[in-house]
Amino acid sequence: MAGNRHRQRRAWASAGRHGLLILFAIISLYPILVTWFTALRPAKESQQDPFGLPWPPIWENVANAWVKGRFGDYLMNSVIIAIPTVIGVVVLSALAGYGIARFRFPGRALAFAAILLGLTIPFQSVMIPLYYQLLQMGLLGSYWAVILPGIAFGLPFGVFLMAAFFEDLPKELHEAARVDGCSELRIFWSVMLPLAKPAVSTLIVFQFMRTWNEFLMPLLYLQDEAKRPIPLGLMFFQGTYTRDIGLIAAGVTLATVPVIIVYLIFQRQFVRGLTAGAVK
């Protein structure tokens, strides 16, 4: 009898946890689904019934947003900016994090503190000096005017994440590889970096989202209309088609799809990276 009551309590507790998770999932997905549904419905229907289902779905809004709003060009510009920025942050963060976590050298703590200090510096406090610096370097108006500062602002968090992950890896692996005759670069590339895939995936997702959604930096340093990334394109598109809810929703949908694809690709490693160290 006591066993049955215990199983019932466990069943109710499990049902409560799953119900709460489903509720949070619905709350999180609701704005995205409403936007997608609006993009696949005529504007008049969306105004009359904002929460209706798109049946049958109308793809005209997406096609018009792609052609009229030039979202193909904006998406390509965002890709050109995002890929080098993410690669630069991941490579430099992995190398710096590994060095800080595995080597003991004079000034190590000071160097790590100086890197982490970058987490406290907002872009707004340096955007004007950075503007004149990029102007003097001849980079203003080019993609590098956004890529290089994006890497610089992404490094503090990236180094912090990678250093913490490398610090938790067993030191016996490093010592065993050294005994086998591996060089330090070989140990990093063949032993430590494969074990750090969860942290690398987490950094890729976070940095891609940050770079993809960056608005102020391209607005200041990319004044050429042909080089606008997706956030700027979406802003100008929304200003042009203010009354057409379907077109605006289609533009937002096109802007969010790449981020969702990247997250789905790295989802499993991303979750492992977030939970790494939670259980010893």
Residues 6+ apart with CB under 8 A from 103: none
pLDDT at 3: 58
Residues 230-244 have pLDDT tens digits of: 988 888 877 766 567
Average pLDDT of the chain to the nearest whole number: 83
**In CATH, what class is 69-275?**
mainly alpha
Question: What does the pLDDT look like over 47-82, one tens digit per residue?
Answer: 666 666 777 777 887 888 888 778 888 899 999 999
pLDDT at 41: 79
145-204 per-position pLDDT tens digit: 999 999 999 999 999 999 988 888 887 887 787 777 778 888 888 888 888 888 898 899
- Structure tokens given for 246: 């379907």
In the chain, what are the domain boundaries?
Answer: 2-48, 69-275
Burial of 209 (C-beta count, 10 Å sphere; 0-12/13-18/19+): middle
Lookup: tokens for 26: 């619905």
Q: Compute the average pLDDT of residues 140-144.
A: 92
- Is residue 201 a contact partner of residue 270, using CB atoms and an 8 Å limit? yes
Closest CA to 160 of 205, 113, 211, 195: 113
pLDDT digit string, tens, across residues 248-261: 888 888 888 888 88
pTM over 0.85: no
Query: What pLDDT was estimated at residue 224?
Result: 83
